[in-house]
Amino acid sequence: MAILEKLRVRAGLLLAIIIGLALFAFVLSDFLDSGGTLFSSSKHEIAEIAGRSIPYNDFEEQVKKLEKFQQIRTGQMSFDENITDRFRNAIWENMVQDIILEKEFKKTGIDVSIDELKELFIGENPHYLVMQYLGDPQTGTLNRQALAQFISSLQEVEESDEKTYYQFVENEVYRSRRFEKYLALLRKSLVATTLQAKRHFNEMNASVDFEFIVKPFTSISDSAISVSKSEMEKYYTAHKNKYKQEESRDLRYLFFEVIPSQEDYKEAEEYIVKSKEEFTRAEDTKQYVNLNSTAPFDDKFYSFGELPDTMNDIMFKSELGTVVGPYFEDNAYKLAKLAEIKYLPDSVRARHILLQATQNNAAQIWKLADSLKEIISKGADFAELAQKYSADKGSVSEGGDLKWFQAGDMVKPFSDSCFFAKKGDIKIVPTQYGLHVVQITDQSKPVKKVQVGILERKVVPSNTTDQIYYSKAYEFAGINNTYEKFNKAIEQQNLTIYVRQAKGIKPLDREIPGLESPRQLIKWAYKADEKEISSQVFKFGDKYVIGVLDKIHEEGYIPLSELKEEIEHEVRKEKKAEKITAEINSKLSQGITLEQLADKLNLQVNTAPGIRLSYPSLPEIGSEPVIVASAFQMEKNVVSKPLTGNSGVFVLVVTNLNTPGDAAPEMLDREKMYINRNYAARVNYTAYEALKKMVRIKDNRREFY
């Protein structure tokens, strides 16, 4: 500010104006870049929850923590977009819950002490999350002593995968326990009274017998009842809460599916034909296939009858190196070469000891495996060693015996080690499950098996073909760039079969039927104006796509214009009810019976025996809760006034009210238990949902993902 003041003094008013304009331009540039208003939050804000701003970086940091936890837990170093999206949704729900409930925790004084947290991990009744994430997944048990030592050892470590994993679990247990306490507090505050128990007992066991007549709404034609605009507006205003909606979009898309041209088929065929001689001469068939084929080499050795009929006999009767083809199969031109012949067993019996390693003890586990192999070869009791060392609880009780199995039943490294070895061999085999000390105990009689190398050339669209379809899509989007032009062109060019609808698309949806990973189209729909055509041509899988935004549904209430038919029907039904009620009232008189009224109205008297509030349905009529509830409030043998139901206007006469009488004390206790269980079940969901509705949640995730 001091520098600006000196400039003002020296350069006068003109320079001050220039600087002011420059500053305004800088602010305006940042404002336009943010895509907001002068009073909007930062463009880096992913959400605002109960007045609290959540920066994108903070949210993403939590997602990375969950991702790291799952990497350590599963050993998987990367996740696809669908799984990552589930991580984001989980963090979102946690973040919303934490912010909303924090005030409740402060008001109620709910917290989890260090001692309580310790008890939840290594006490007599560990928390279910501790069992889930730190227990033995095979036995469902928790070694509390080992866990206590593990937790103690982490205090000495500044940073490690084990510490990261534990801290994540600890935080989740803490969050979960606080929420459990809050729900328990709410549940204990809701206790069924004796009056409630009596009422529920009566409602569930009382029944009513009545006779009725009904004049259905269908007795008056729709054309006989006119509905004005003002009547519809009045009904809409009175029932507006029935028509709430979430934010969504209705869109269509036109797709141009890229399919191979005749030139693409010809190119693939020529490639295979030209390759036959070189493929025949190749000494290393596996290497040649992996370098030149569109599908990798298949290591499997096939028994007679397992190959397709077209080559089965040839491969089992021919000499090594025989090539069959070219032939066309599964949209590919192929050559098949007899790569290797072996005599192998069809089935093997083996036993194993599974040793599971971590990053910190891998060397020791290999050393242990070598020691076990050596002492087993010298005659040590395999079953006893399996009982002591094996992590495979399923086979420990059998002394590590896996019984008989066929090739492919086990993971490939394990299977190969058994089928390519001899009976009695002892092997050390690493797999994704750990380190196996394997002994082959028996094998079936060896039979002839063949390994076949398939050189294939999949017929796929070339770049030239792909460009042709892109040009078609781009040209269509450029010419038909308005809603009217788009729809007219679809009709004139008979492209309807290439148009799909996607209604009710939510802001964070990631799927549209018929499209592969269409998130970009959904993001476009939430930035576009209604009836806008996408200027961008999207590529999803093998389709070029042009989007058109048909309808924007804003969060709030469905507009009356979109409900015209429904509301017109409801208003017409109300007016029919008024007309039928007036007709019935004109026939009602003092002392008239239901049968006499039915004769005057040319209606039939129906009976409804044993009707309960728990199932308010009438014979041959259907659900009529208002009519059934009214019957329970009526005096016996009195003709009711006209009552409007779902299907028409009714008149009733109650003939009998069957009451269960006073409930025994033990029955009332059971009713109280039922009501309390119902309260508990409702609290678990509705309490938190009610809190969510009380706060403003602004979700900007669609701008980032």
CB distance 249 to 553 below 8 Å = yes
* Element containing residue 458 per DSSP (H, E): strand 447-458
- For 257-284, the pLDDT digits (tens) are 999 999 999 999 999 999 999 999 999 9
Average pLDDT over residues 471-481: 96
d(CA 634, CA 639): 9
pLDDT for residue 22 is more than 80: no
- For 574-613, the pLDDT digits (tens) are 999 999 999 999 999 988 999 999 999 999 999 999 999 9
* Element containing residue 634 per DSSP (H, E): none
CA distances to 21, 359, 362, 379, 590 from 356, rounded to whole Å, are 69, 10, 9, 24, 90
d(CA 344, CA 274): 35
CB distance 53 to 45 below 8 Å = yes
What is residue 358's predicted lDDT score, i.e. its pLDDT? 64
The tokens describing 5, both together, are 């003041």
The contacts found for 471-475 with CB under 8 angstroms, 24 or more apart, are: 472/256, 472/544, 473/254, 473/256, 473/537, 473/544, 473/545, 473/546, 474/537
pLDDT for residue 52 is more than 70: yes
* Element containing residue 576 per DSSP (H, E): helix 564-587
Q: How many CB atoms lie within 10 A of CB 614?
A: 11
CA distances to 20, 21, 406, 636 from 25, rounded to whole Å, are 9, 6, 75, 83
pLDDT for residue 36 is more than 50: no
Q: How many CB atoms lie within 10 A of CB 125?
A: 9
Residue range 347-444, CATH number: 3.10.50.40
- For 210-258, the pLDDT digits (tens) are 999 999 999 999 999 999 999 999 999 999 999 999 999 999 999 999 9
The tokens describing 600, both together, are 């005057």
3-state SS, residue 590: coil
d(CA 590, CA 289): 98
What is residue 555's predicted lDDT score, i.e. its pLDDT? 92
Q: Could you write out the three-class secondary structure of 173-199?
A: HHHHHHHHHHHHHHHHHCCCCHHHHHH
The tokens describing 567, both together, are 């509301």
What is the DSSP track for 284-318? -HHHHHHHH-SS----PPBPTTSS-HHHHHHHHHS
Confidence of residue 360 (pLDDT cuts 50, 70, 90): low
CB distance 542 to 473 below 8 Å = no
